[in-house]
Protein backbone atom coordinates (compact mmCIF):
# COMPACT_ATOMS: atom_id res chain seq x y z
CA UNK A 1 0.00 0.00 0.00
CA UNK A 2 1.37 3.41 -0.99
CA UNK A 3 -0.70 5.63 1.29
CA UNK A 4 0.62 6.79 4.67
CA UNK A 5 -2.62 5.96 6.48
CA UNK A 6 -3.40 2.23 6.51
CA UNK A 7 -7.14 3.05 6.68
CA UNK A 8 -6.91 4.93 3.37
CA UNK A 9 -7.01 2.73 0.29
CA UNK A 10 -4.06 3.01 -2.09
CA UNK A 11 -4.80 4.95 -5.27
CA UNK A 12 -5.57 2.89 -8.36
CA UNK A 13 -3.14 2.89 -11.25
CA UNK A 14 -5.23 5.41 -13.25
CA UNK A 15 -4.99 7.92 -10.40
CA UNK A 16 -1.26 7.31 -10.06
CA UNK A 17 -0.84 7.92 -13.80
CA UNK A 18 -2.85 11.16 -13.49
CA UNK A 19 -0.62 12.18 -10.57
CA UNK A 20 2.53 11.60 -12.62
CA UNK A 21 1.10 13.55 -15.57
CA UNK A 22 0.14 16.42 -13.27
CA UNK A 23 3.59 16.37 -11.69
CA UNK A 24 5.07 16.85 -15.17
CA UNK A 25 2.72 19.80 -15.72
CA UNK A 26 3.87 21.32 -12.44
CA UNK A 27 7.52 20.99 -13.40
CA UNK A 28 6.72 22.60 -16.75
CA UNK A 29 5.07 25.55 -15.05
CA UNK A 30 8.04 26.05 -12.74
CA UNK A 31 10.37 25.83 -15.76
CA UNK A 32 8.31 28.58 -17.41
CA UNK A 33 8.74 30.73 -14.30
CA UNK A 34 12.50 30.18 -14.39
CA UNK A 35 12.52 31.15 -18.09
CA UNK A 36 10.70 34.39 -17.22
CA UNK A 37 13.26 35.23 -14.53
CA UNK A 38 16.08 34.54 -16.99
CA UNK A 39 14.37 36.87 -19.45
CA UNK A 40 14.34 39.63 -16.83
CA UNK A 41 18.00 39.02 -16.01
CA UNK A 42 18.81 39.41 -19.69
CA UNK A 43 17.26 42.88 -19.69
CA UNK A 44 13.60 42.47 -20.57
CA UNK A 45 11.61 45.72 -20.57
CA UNK A 46 9.27 46.30 -17.61
CA UNK A 47 10.61 43.56 -15.32
CA UNK A 48 7.96 44.10 -12.62
CA UNK A 49 5.04 42.40 -14.37
CA UNK A 50 7.26 39.62 -15.68
CA UNK A 51 8.62 38.86 -12.20
CA UNK A 52 5.08 39.05 -10.82
CA UNK A 53 3.93 36.47 -13.37
CA UNK A 54 6.91 34.28 -12.48
CA UNK A 55 6.00 34.49 -8.80
CA UNK A 56 2.39 33.51 -9.46
CA UNK A 57 3.56 30.58 -11.60
CA UNK A 58 5.94 29.35 -8.89
CA UNK A 59 3.19 29.47 -6.25
CA UNK A 60 0.56 27.85 -8.45
CA UNK A 61 2.71 25.13 -9.96
CA UNK A 62 4.53 24.50 -6.69
CA UNK A 63 1.11 23.71 -5.23
CA UNK A 64 0.38 21.51 -8.26
CA UNK A 65 3.59 19.54 -7.68
CA UNK A 66 2.69 19.12 -4.00
CA UNK A 67 -0.87 18.04 -4.81
CA UNK A 68 0.32 15.51 -7.38
CA UNK A 69 2.79 14.00 -4.91
CA UNK A 70 0.10 13.80 -2.25
CA UNK A 71 -2.33 12.20 -4.68
CA UNK A 72 0.27 9.64 -5.75
CA UNK A 73 0.78 8.77 -2.08
CA UNK A 74 -2.94 8.24 -1.50
CA UNK A 75 -4.38 11.48 -0.11
CA UNK A 76 -7.89 11.80 -1.56
CA UNK A 77 -8.16 15.51 -0.77
CA UNK A 78 -5.45 16.35 -3.28
CA UNK A 79 -7.64 15.20 -6.18
CA UNK A 80 -9.68 18.42 -6.17
CA UNK A 81 -6.74 20.81 -6.72
CA UNK A 82 -5.55 18.57 -9.55
CA UNK A 83 -9.00 18.69 -11.18
CA UNK A 84 -9.17 22.48 -10.81
CA UNK A 85 -5.70 22.79 -12.36
CA UNK A 86 -6.75 20.70 -15.34
CA UNK A 87 -9.84 22.84 -15.87
CA UNK A 88 -7.77 26.03 -15.71
CA UNK A 89 -5.20 24.62 -18.11
CA UNK A 90 -8.00 23.61 -20.48
CA UNK A 91 -8.86 27.30 -20.63
CA UNK A 92 -5.23 28.08 -21.43
CA UNK A 93 -5.27 25.42 -24.15
CA UNK A 94 -8.42 26.93 -25.63
CA UNK A 95 -6.77 30.36 -25.68
CA UNK A 96 -3.67 28.93 -27.34
CA UNK A 97 -5.82 27.17 -29.94
CA UNK A 98 -8.17 30.04 -30.72
CA UNK A 99 -7.12 33.63 -30.05
CA UNK A 100 -3.38 32.91 -30.07
CA UNK A 101 -3.67 30.90 -33.29
CA UNK A 102 -1.36 28.14 -32.05
CA UNK A 103 -3.56 25.19 -32.93
CA UNK A 104 -0.95 22.47 -32.41
CA UNK A 105 0.08 23.70 -28.97
CA UNK A 106 -3.54 24.28 -27.93
CA UNK A 107 -4.65 20.87 -29.18
CA UNK A 108 -1.84 19.00 -27.46
CA UNK A 109 -2.37 20.87 -24.19
CA UNK A 110 -6.11 20.30 -24.29
CA UNK A 111 -5.74 16.59 -25.03
CA UNK A 112 -3.25 16.25 -22.17
CA UNK A 113 -5.68 17.87 -19.72
CA UNK A 114 -8.60 15.76 -20.92
CA UNK A 115 -6.56 12.56 -20.51
CA UNK A 116 -5.73 13.51 -16.91
CA UNK A 117 -9.39 14.26 -16.19
CA UNK A 118 -10.52 10.97 -17.74
CA UNK A 119 -8.00 9.09 -15.59
CA UNK A 120 -9.30 10.82 -12.46
CA UNK A 121 -12.93 10.09 -13.28
CA UNK A 122 -12.59 6.37 -13.98
CA UNK A 123 -14.78 4.12 -11.84
CA UNK A 124 -11.83 3.08 -9.69
CA UNK A 125 -10.65 6.69 -9.40
CA UNK A 126 -14.05 7.88 -8.19
CA UNK A 127 -14.37 4.92 -5.81
CA UNK A 128 -10.91 5.72 -4.38
CA UNK A 129 -11.77 9.41 -4.01
CA UNK A 130 -14.86 8.48 -1.98
CA UNK A 131 -12.73 6.30 0.29
CA UNK A 132 -14.04 2.92 -0.84
CA UNK A 133 -11.54 0.12 -1.17
CA UNK A 134 -12.04 -1.75 -4.44
CA UNK A 135 -10.91 -4.97 -2.73
CA UNK A 136 -13.92 -4.70 -0.39
CA UNK A 137 -16.23 -4.60 -3.39
CA UNK A 138 -14.75 -7.76 -4.87
CA UNK A 139 -12.70 -5.98 -7.54
CA UNK A 140 -8.95 -6.08 -7.88
CA UNK A 141 -6.90 -2.90 -8.39
> pLDDT, tens digit, for every residue of 74-98?
998 899 999 999 999 999 999 999 9
How high is the pLDDT of residue 6?
57
How high is the pLDDT of residue 141?
45
How high is the pLDDT of residue 134?
54
How high is the pLDDT of residue 7?
62
How high is the pLDDT of residue 131?
84
How high is the pLDDT of residue 1?
46
Question: What whole-number distance in Å separates Cα of residue 2 and Cα of residue 92?
Answer: 33
Q: Which residues of the chain fall below pLDDT 70?
A: 1-8, 133-141
**For residue 118, what are the CA distances in angstroms to 31, 63, 90, 129?**
26, 21, 13, 14
Report the predicted TM-score, pTM, of the whole model to 2 decimal places: 0.84
Amino acid sequence: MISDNPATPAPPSAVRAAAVMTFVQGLGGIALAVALVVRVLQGAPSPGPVLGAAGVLVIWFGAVVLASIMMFRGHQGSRTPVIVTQLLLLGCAWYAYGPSEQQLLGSLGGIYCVVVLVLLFTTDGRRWAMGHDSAEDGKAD
